[in-house]
Amino acid sequence: MSKPLRQRLTEVSASTFKAERALASYMLAELATLPFETAASLATKVSVSEPTVGRFCRSIGYASFKDLKAHLRSDMGDQPWLIGDRLRDLQVRNRAGEDQLMRGLELEMAALVAVYEIAHSPSWAAVVKRLATARSVFAVGFQTERGMAQIFVNQLQYLRDGVELLDLAGGNFSQVLARNDKDAALVIFEARRYSRLARELATEAKAAGIPVTLITDPFCDWGHEVADEIFVVPTQFNLFWESTAQMASLANLLVNGVFMELGPEVEGRMNKIADLYGRFTGHVGSAEAKPSKVKTTESKDKN
């Protein structure tokens, strides 16, 4: 194989065929767990037929899904697959009882590895640079992802000015779409079932010349059409509800990247914000916050 699997999947992820996009996006996000899949289990998770999985593998140069997994192991080289000796022992002891949480732990650890791999992709550096230098940065999340965007904005505000959580109540996204200044960046957190607003906002922002970064799950087959960059995060961990916890890990890595990009100059802003919080709100164990006294006209007259 002249190209590694990750590169082949990345190229196909922008395909015009929905099934190919879905399979490529899912595989990219779940590379670390693909060795545990079969063609049938993969077909079920991506909502395609088992023969479609086989045809997809052949279309990107592999004889079968089994052949693809064999090359994946070669591509991964000496990377640690999942867990160290202590957790491996726990795995063996629990596997006999079919511990479902143990399986979830395996998947979550593999997902965390995948998230850190995203942070080494070429598009990652471009997004970090934009978030550090754009005049304005906007973030938004819909439904349960709203909290992810809020955390991301709150953390980024400690490092730089001009960071806002998009207002959903206004119903028009004028904060970002009605701007005259296009020196801005938009980050969208979204997972299925996807809000119609997420796709429409991304489409409008991109058309307006505002770069869009979409952080989403492996099932989003429309992201490449509307976003400048798409970071696909694993969300299936053998739990009742799909988990977007790894989106928070990816957001933390973005904030860390911005911190490294800005350098020591952020210390002054961080200290100022910490001081403001201490004066207005305060922390546990610290002296009670006392707002600054403002001299009134009456007090001035007395003096």
pLDDT tens digits, one per residue of 30-63: 777 787 788 998 999 898 999 999 999 999 999 9
Mean pLDDT of 75-104: 55
- The number of distinct structural domains making up the chain is 2
CA distance 102 to 183: 46
CATH number of 7's domain:
1.10.10.10
Are residues 7 and 138 part of one domain? no
pTM, entire model: 0.70
Specify whether the CB–CB gap between 177 and 205 falls below 8 A.
yes
Q: Are residues 171 and 246 in the same domain?
A: yes
CA distances from 301 to 292, 294, 295, 297, 298 (A): 20, 14, 10, 6, 5
Please report the pLDDT score of residue 83 as a whole number: 40
What's the half-sphere exposure (Cβ side, CA atoms, 13 Å) at 63?
4
22 or 81: whose pLDDT is higher? 22
pLDDT band, residue 69 (cuts 50/70/90): confident
163, 224: one domain: yes
In a domain, 108, yes or no: no
Q: To 5 degrees, how large is the angle CA 224–CA 230–CA 234?
A: 115
pLDDT of residue 130 exceeding 80: yes
Residue 240 lies in a domain: yes
Whole-number pLDDT of residue 97 = 56
Which of 26, 48, 79 is at the close of a domain?
Answer: 79
Mean pLDDT of 248-259: 96
Q: What is the mean pLDDT of residues 159-173?
A: 93
**Residue range 240-251: mean pLDDT, rounded:** 87
Structural domain including 194 reads 122-265
Is 254 part of any domain?
yes
- For 224, the token pair is 């490449």
Both 53 and 138 in one domain: the answer is no
147 and 250 together in one domain:
yes
pLDDT in tens, 141-165: 998 899 999 999 999 999 999 999 9
What pLDDT is stored for residue 108 in this prediction? 84
Distance CA 95, CA 36 (A): 14
Same domain, 74 and 186: no
φ, ψ for residue 144, nearest 5 deg:
-70, -15
Residues 152, 28 share a domain: no
